[in-house]
Structures are given as structure tokens and as C-alpha cells.
Amino acid sequence: MIVTTADLFKVAYGKFAVGAYNINNLEQCMGLFRGNLDSQAPFIIQISKGARSYTHKLMLEGLIRSAEQVFPEAVFAVHLDHGDEATCYDCIDSGFYSSVMIDASHESLAENIAITRRVADRAHAKGISVEAELGQLGGVEEHVSVKEADAKLTDPDQALEFVTGSGCDSLACAIGTSHGAFKFIGTQGLHFDVLEEIQKRLPGFPLVMHGSSSVPQDEVARINAAGGALAGAKGVDAGEFHRASLLGVTKINIDTDGRLVWTRVHREYFRDKPENFDLRPPGKVFMAEYAAFIAAKNGFLGSAGQLGLVKKELGLA
């Protein structure tokens, strides 16, 4: 059943983080539902602008509505990931999305506040909640000094001003992560000090961690052994999710790891069966492997086993 993101956050805040997983196609959709049910976890489905235009924006909506019938036990929200203003309005007006993310983090503070406020007003009128972003999730590059990288982190004082001024319902904070498979060099990691300061200023307010794929090294090694070229890929230690959730991180975004599962399965399958040209056998392997990946990830997020509590708290039991 589709529920509001706000309801999931009420149950999860300070206890566990809800996994927010991006999907683009049928196989990801099936694996996602199976994995969350296998681990008895509530979850958030994320749809990016790119995913909406991969085929047609209505295709994923149709898939998710069908999955809701195929898996009636599932409890989840549907979220627009990294939206611009126009896409947010389209999703708000569609009546399908539980929440939207307006990403104006590249704008000045004043402009970010103004854009987010417009989106929040329109979303709230329809009972939809809004995630916004403050700070910059930089890619980690050799030439960027630690000082420069730290300057892009969310400023805790600005966070309070931003949330108050913009009316957003959750805040994506830059605490050292970045999108994709190449996040850290050397000993860089998450800035729990920044998170702690943000939580002090915004107690009870849901925080969001983007760029949280773990980029498992065994996965990378298998991809490279099967013809890939992902040298130096490195991600977030999933063992740190629990500490982050105690500091107010209520939603953790994971996309890249799912893409790595897809890449490994398909590279290995066609390497080992070069005579094959049927898409269904590797598709079946992927759905099972993606489900297992999701279930394991939910263990780290603390969302595994919380489905009963969520149903009870939301009056669905």
C-alpha cells in the first residue's frame, strides 16, 4: 500500500532509516518489492527525472500500481528524486507521488529558499511533503583539497534558517557523500560532527543522506573480472547507517549499488554463456540478486523487521 512519506518518517525518526531506492524498470521494481517483503521492511521508491524520461513518465507509475496489487503486504511511499521546479509541479499535480524533492542546492541560499517555498506551498495544499537540499554533494576528485570539499558541506546555522524560511519537510544534507561509484579517496568519510550540529538545531526534523551506496568491493572486483573498468570505486560504510539514523537521518538514498548488481549479473551471465541472446534468464537472476541485496541493505538501515511496527502505528494492521 502506498502511504505518505511523512507517515513513514514519523515512525522511523531516531529509530531507523528508511531505504530510498531508485528504480527505472520492471526488473528493479520486482526485486525491490521482493527484497523489502523478504526483510519485512517499509521503503521508499525513488523516481528521478532521468527515470521518468527513460521510457515514459507513466510507465513507472503503471508498474508501481501493478506491484501494489501483486504485493499487497508491502508498505511504501513514492518519491520524486532531485526534481526541478517544473517536474515537482508535474508530480504534485499527478496525484501519484507521496513526496517530491526540489533540488535547488546549486542556487544562492536566498534563491534556494524562495524556490523551495513555492514548491512547498503547492505540495502542502495537496498533502504532499517536500525534501530540499542545502550544501553541495561534491564528487571526490584528486585536485579538490579537503578544505575545499568541506566548504561544500551543509552549514548547520544555515540549515535552521533554510528550513524555517522554505517550509520544507525534510532536509538533504551534504555531510561528505557524493553520487556514483567514486565517493572517497584515502581516509575521507562521513562528517558526523556536522550531522550532530544540524540535529541540535533541528531536533525531530527528518534528515536525508544522499549518495549512500556502499560500492561493495567484491561486487566491483567481479565486474572488473568480467570485463568492467571500475578501478578505484569506493562507497559509504553501511555500518555507519545506524549511527546516522540516531542523529536524525531518516531516509538513506541508494541507487548506484543496484546498478552494480545489474552490471555484475549481466556481465557474468553473458561472459559465461556467450551463445545466449535471451534477456529473461539474466533478468531472472538479477531480480533474485537485487531482492537479496535489498534485504541485506535493510539490515544495515535498521528498517528490516519494522513492517509490523509501521502497520501498527499507521493503523494498517
Question: Residue numbers of the site for ligand 13P (CB under 6 A)?
Answer: 22, 81-82, 179-180, 210-213, 253-257
Is 169 a residue that touches ligand G3H (CB under 6 A)? Answer: no
Please say which residue, 199 or 213, places its beta carbon nearer to ligand 13P. 213
* Residue 51 interaction partner, one of ligand 13P, ligand G3H, Zn ion, none, beta carbon < 5-8 Å per kind: ligand G3H
Q: Which residue is nearest to Zn ion (CB)?
A: 210
Applying CB under 6 A, among 255, 294, 297, 310 the residue interacting with ligand G3H is 255
- Active site (annotated) includes residue 272: no
Catalog residues that contact Zn ion under the rule CB under 5 A.
210
Q: What angle do CA 215, 216, 219 make, to 5 degrees?
A: 105
Is 179 a residue that touches ligand G3H (CB under 6 A)? Answer: yes
- Which residues share a beta bridge with 76? 2, 43
Provide the 10 A C-beta neighbour count for residue 107: 13
* Residue 116 interaction partner, one of ligand G3H, Zn ion, ligand 13P, none, beta carbon < 5-8 Å per kind: none
Is 139 a residue that touches ligand G3H (CB under 6 A)? Answer: no
Dihedral sign, Cα of residue 280, residue 281, residue 282, residue 286? positive
Is 51 a residue that touches ligand G3H (CB under 6 A)? Answer: yes
Residue of 81, 103, 169, 257 with catalytic role: 81
- The CA distance from 175 to 137, in Å, is 8
- The CA distance from 177 to 172, in Å, is 11
* Of 120, 140, 145, 143, nearest in space to 130 by CA: 120
Q: Are 19 and 294 in contact (CB under 8 A)?
A: yes
* Residue 254 interaction partner, one of ligand 13P, ligand G3H, Zn ion, none, beta carbon < 5-8 Å per kind: ligand 13P
- The CA distance from 53 to 309, in Å, is 36
Contacts to ligand G3H by CB under 6 A = 22, 48, 50-51, 81-82, 179, 255
